[in-house]
Amino acid sequence: MNHTPVVFIHGAWLDTRSWELWAERFAGRGFLAFTPGWPGEGTSAESRTSSVTRAGISLDGLIAHYAEIVRSFEVSPVIIGHSVGGLVAQHLIGADMGRAAVAIAPAPINEIPVPDSSARLWTPGRAGAADRLVALSPERFHRYFANTVAAEESYRLFERYVGPAPHRLAAELGPAGGACGPRAVVNVGNANRGPLLLISGQEDRLVPDAVTRAVYKAYGDSRAGTDLKQFADRGHSLVIDNGWRFVADYVLGWLQMRGIRAHPVVG
């Protein structure tokens, strides 16, 4: 019997382990769960923090990497992405890759403006440092990423899942003058793509809820199915913190509502 694959794409400052609980839950529902890392990403702490493997990653390279993975399946997969991964998921579904996509707290697209406070978080600092990594301190992670959980939980999440992000990628995403970078482009007008679910946390300080709502409105002229779910009292860590299961189960319910089963009917 064929199973529907689900490809999980993590975002900046996290690693592939950030999907470990999701993968287990989706597999328990009969889906084939895949958590491929970014180009060059390994499973050890050493490889996750290596400037050789991560610093040179660009947005185009990241999209191409996951496009190749998505195209490799005989059964068209569901694509689920968080943060930068949510941007990649939207790009792929907009290019007719994948059966459906879920973008959770997705990085901003198509020059949609963001508040100055969030813009400063995405901006990586000094220019001319394409070969370096941008790290988060535990304090900064708690303040901007895991701001809705207690400090003890935030530190535990930091130790388990957090690593540095490529400066080059952050520069391409970093809002300049309130708008996201010119490489962060998604085809929002494709009427033939699969369904898309956008998810936001209403206390998210990195990708504010208002940004995700603006992205949702940008899809308004497309006849393709687009849905929005807002989670109250949730921050950017909503896929890894203690409330992750509520988000995962909502996604599972949305897939069922959209007629996407773990065991698709063939023929």
Least confident of 42-56, 90-104, 112-126, 209-223: 42-56
Q: Please provide the average confidence, as pLDDT, over all residues in the chain.
A: 85
Residue 203: band (very low, low, confident or very high) from pLDDT cuts 50, 70, 90: very high
HSE, CB side, 13 Å, CA atoms: give it for residue 73: 21
Give the separation between CA 230 and CA 104, rounded to whole angstroms: 10
Given a cut of 60, whether residue 46 has pLDDT beyond it is: no
Task: Count Cβ atoms within 10 A of the Cβ of residue 266 and give its class: 0-12 exposed, 13-18 middle, 19 or more buried.
Answer: exposed
pLDDT value of position 265: 58
Helix pair angle (244-257, 20-28), 10° resolution: 40
Least confident of 53-62, 112-121, 230-239: 112-121
Instruction: Identify the bridge partners of residue 5 per DSSP, sorted by sequence position.
Output: 32
Give the separation between CA 165 and CA 12, rounded to whole angstroms: 5
Given a cut of 70, whether residue 56 has pLDDT beyond it is: yes
pLDDT value of position 267: 46
Give the separation between CA 153 and CA 162, rounded to whole angstroms: 13
Question: Reduced to 3 states, what is the DSSP secondary structure of residue 8?
Answer: strand
Least confident of 39-53, 173-187, 228-242: 39-53
Task: List the one residue out of 197, 195, 147, 141 whose CA is nearest residue 164.
Answer: 141
Instruction: Identify the bridge partners of residue 33 per DSSP, sorted by sequence position.
Output: 6
Least confident of 29-43, 134-148, 192-206, 225-239: 29-43
What domains sit in the chain, N to C, each tagged with a CATH number?
5-257 (3.40.50.1820)
Given a cut of 90, whether residue 183 has pLDDT beyond it is: no
pTM: 0.90
